[in-house]
Amino acid sequence: MTTTALIVAAGKGERLGGGVPKQYRDLCGKPVLRWAAEALLRHPAVRNLCVAIGEGQQDRAASALQGLEATIVQGGAERADSVSAGLDRIEGEAVLVHDAARPFCPTDVIDRLLASLEFFDGAAPVLPVGDTLARGEATIDEPVDRAGLQRVQTPQAFRLAALKSAYASWSGSTPTDETTVLRAAGMKVAAVEGDPRLEKLTLPADFARAQQWLAGNSIPRTGMGFDVHAFAGTGPIMLGGISIEHDRGLKGHSDADVVLHAITDALLGAVALGDIGEHFPPSDARWKGAASHMFLSHVAELARGQGAIIDHVDCTVIAEAPKVGPHRDAMRLRIAEILGLRTDQVSLKATTTEGLGFTGRREGIAAQAVANVRMGATW
């Protein structure tokens, strides 16, 4: 059965606060929307992806979905408007309608949903209500019998023709999900076993829970990097991605930024992808005089492509001069920017060799770095 995934991602996420819609918030190195998209595309039956976004979200969506083949459509103010906009662009036999704010979707849930379409026009994952229910606001006023109650999750699966037909005949108020539309058209919707991992991210505590969940299902790794460049010619020099005035320059095929080179090598070591010389060989004219931030950002992308979440980088500059202290904050900020991290995830220190060795003789600068990542964050 040819299946398209339709992700509804037009919300503003106002209850979460912070100004960034929750579907574009970072969750352990990836936007929430990308987690949701990758989860659906992981299933072999899902051939196409359509994402309905809000007004003015085009750039955020394109960034979150970079590298994934997806049709992006303009959604509406209400969920039903976004679903209708997506349905107009979808062809095939079946559709999975999913909330962008539910980043984790086990493949066995999709198996159960699609299997149900052999006998039903639609299917939704559900979980039983386990808590005591009651009406009231500031006080508990009236208990509610929870027998037979279920929590309905997404993705919800539908025969595409049936869902389009149901929406065409819908005349009620704004529906909260597509099972409501289908049932109003007289069609039956199967209930299949849901999964706690499908919980929706709504409040800050939900994000904390999701981060802890991912952290418990990943493998920590550490990589080390080291780089040296000799002084030659006149300054300034590049160090930590910024230009620093110095009476001497640094010799190298690229811009000779020892800090960025050491961090690049540390990241490559953490994900076991070789060393900087393999990816950017000095024999290649493309890298002559190249800005080292290109190396670091490319390797960060490679690392994340391997499933790595970059947690922290630490670099020590070994030199008699120039002094790092006055430039430390600017360097940390620039490194964080290149890696897409917060500045508190970047550490930068400096030391000397007390006049010993080539750095002590002021013949060059060295840097050593450590990168900590988590691999295989799964759910």
The tens-digit pLDDT sequence of the chain (379 residues) is 889 999 999 987 666 666 789 999 988 778 999 999 999 999 999 999 999 999 999 999 999 998 899 999 999 989 999 999 999 999 999 999 999 999 999 999 999 999 999 999 999 999 998 888 888 888 888 888 888 899 999 999 999 999 999 999 998 888 989 999 999 999 999 999 999 999 999 888 998 888 888 877 788 999 999 999 999 999 999 999 999 999 999 999 899 999 999 999 999 999 999 999 999 998 888 888 899 999 999 999 899 888 788 999 999 999 999 999 999 999 999 999 999 899 999 999 999 999 999 999 999 999 999 999 988 655 5
291, two tokens: 């800005």
Read off the DSSP letter of residue 250: B
Distance CA 303, CA 294 (A): 14
Contact (Cβ atoms closer than 8 angstroms) between residue 338 and residue 241: yes
**Three-state DSSP class for 256?**
coil
What crossing angle do the helices spanning 160-169 and 79-87 adopt, rounded to 10°?
130
Give Cα separations from 323 to 222, 244, 251 (angstroms).
28, 10, 19
| pLDDT at residue number 27 | 86
Q: Which of 163, 210, 207, 203 is nearest to 187 (CA)?
A: 163
Please give the Cα distance from 311 to 223 (Å, whole number): 12
DSSP conformational letter for 231:
B
pLDDT at residue 379, as a whole number: 54
Q: How far is CA 256 from the centre of its chain?
A: 31
What is 219-375's CATH number? 3.30.1330.50
Q: Parallel, antiparallel, or unpaired: how do β-strands 309-318 and 364-375 relate?
A: antiparallel
146: which residues sit within 8 A by CB, 6+ positions away? 129, 131, 132, 133
Q: Which two tokens stand for residue 3?
A: 């299946």
Supply the pLDDT for residue 172.
Answer: 83
Q: Which residues contact 126 (CB under 8 A, 6 or more apart)?
A: 150, 151, 152, 153, 191, 192, 193, 194
**Cα 159 from chain centroid?**
30
Please name every residue paired with 83 in a beta bridge, in sequence order, or none if there are none: none
Q: What are phi and psi of 109, to 5 degrees?
A: -65, -45
Per CATH, the homologous superfamily of domain 3-215 is Spore Coat Polysaccharide Biosynthesis Protein SpsA; Chain A (3.90.550.10)
Q: How far apart are CA 53 and CA 73, in angstroms?
A: 6
Q: Which of 128, 336, 322, 130 is nearest to 241 (CA)?
A: 336
Q: At what angle do helices 258-270 and 328-339 cross, to 10 degrees?
A: 40
Q: Rounded to whole angstroms, what are the CA distances from 200 to 42, 105, 157, 209, 226?
A: 19, 11, 17, 11, 43
Q: Where are the domains of the chain?
A: 3-215, 219-375
Of the chain, the end-to-end C-alpha distance in Å amounts to 26
d(CA 311, CA 346): 9
Domains 3-215 and 219-375 fall in the same CATH topology: no
pTM: 0.69
Residue 171: both structure tokens together: 């005349």
